[in-house]
């Protein structure tokens, strides 16, 4: 006897982004996979993230300038968490180093500058990439 049991068809989510990230500023494949290729969801979460990231970056810079290591660690931690959602591995690594340094009571100024440069690169690249994948 032939079984006519229903079996769900599971569509495989493409794990590779249709285009790479500009200048390697983030891991496009990781973003594509995390958001299951849902471009509107990517846009929505990026808009939220893009509105909060500057506060983390500015707060970090200010906290380091004032030698407020508790605040610096908190801002670095938040920056790393938000950046990780978008595969910004370099920024995440820098923010984690800053968080560790803040816990030790000193953050090298070049680390903050590196984070700022990586932050700016992420913002520019992610916005351009989302525009391209949306076409």
Map out the domains of the chain with their CATH numbers. Answer: 26-133 (1.20.120)
pLDDT digits (tens, 9 = 90+) for 6-46: 444 444 556 799 999 998 899 999 999 999 999 999 999 99
- Cα–Cα distance list, 52 to 14, 91, 101, 114 (Å): 29, 15, 23, 19
Give the global pTM. Answer: 0.86
Mean pLDDT of 101-107: 97
Of all residues in the chain, the percent with pLDDT exceeding 70 is 90
């Amino acid at each position: 006897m032939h079984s006519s049991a229903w079996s769900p068809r599971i569509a495989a989510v493409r794990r590779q982004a249709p285009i790479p990230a500009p200048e390697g500023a983030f891991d496009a494949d990781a973003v594509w996979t995390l958001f299951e290729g849902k471009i509107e969801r990517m846009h929505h979460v990026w808009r939220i993230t893009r509105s909060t990231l500057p506060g983390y970056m500015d707060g970090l810079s200010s906290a380091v300038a004032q030698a407020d290591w508790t605040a610096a660690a908190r801002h670095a931690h938040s920056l790393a968490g938000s950046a990780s959602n978008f595969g910004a591995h370099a920024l995440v690594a820098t923010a984690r180093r800053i968080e560790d340094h803040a816990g030790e009571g000193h953050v090298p100024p070049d680390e903050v500058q590196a984070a700022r440069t990586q932050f700016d690169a992420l913002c520019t690249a992610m916005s351009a990439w989302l525009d391209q994948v949306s076409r």
